[in-house]
Every structure is written in structure tokens, then in C-alpha cells.
Amino acid sequence: MDTKTLLDGLNFAKEYHLSPMEISALIPFFEKPRNTKELAEILNRNKVTVHHLIQRLRLKGVLVLKEVDSNGTYLFEFNNDTQERLGL
């Protein structure tokens, strides 16, 4: 990772007031949209804790709801507007 990318990431985290736990929860969303259960398995955290993280990130405008499947599972993705600002 080059210095510019690291500085951009730090500025992004500062702008959105992201905690270290919120940053670690955001990383898997760069790969593909995820639901609460998948993210809980990746982070090795309780589903309720991950649900609260996702809700905080949605309130900050970093995550958006992509779709709800037939089982009622919510699929979240990284906000495209935020991605464009980062140049991803």
C-alpha cells in the first residue's frame, strides 16, 4: 500500500468519524455486498454486535441497503457515492 492510499483512508475514517471496529467491518464490503450473518462469520463476532455496527455505518452514510431476498435477508453494500469520492 502506498502512502497516498493510506492517507486517503485515514482522511476518510476521520471525515466519517469511524472507530477501528467500524473500519474492520467495512473492509469485507469492498469485495462484495454482504449480510449480517456473513459479516459476523468473517469478523468472528456476535451477530447482534455486527448488526449494530452495520446500523451505525448506515446512519453515517457509508453503507446502503442493496436488496432484501425472498427469505427477508438484508444485503448491504458500500455506498457508491462514497466509493467515487475515494476513487475506488
Which residues on neighbouring strands pair with residue 37, listed in sequence order? none
pLDDT of residue 63: 92
Per residue of the chain (88 residues), what is the pLDDT tens digit?
Answer: 678 777 887 888 898 899 999 998 998 998 899 999 999 999 999 999 999 999 999 999 999 999 998 888 999 998 877 766 666 5
How far is the C-alpha of 68 from the C-alpha of 83, rounded, in Å?
Answer: 22
pLDDT of residue 71: 86
pLDDT of residue 6: 76
CB of 69 closer than 8 Å to CB of 37? no
pLDDT of residue 87: 62
Domains delineated in the chain: 3-86 (1.10.10.10)
Which residues on neighbouring strands pair with residue 34, listed in sequence order? 76
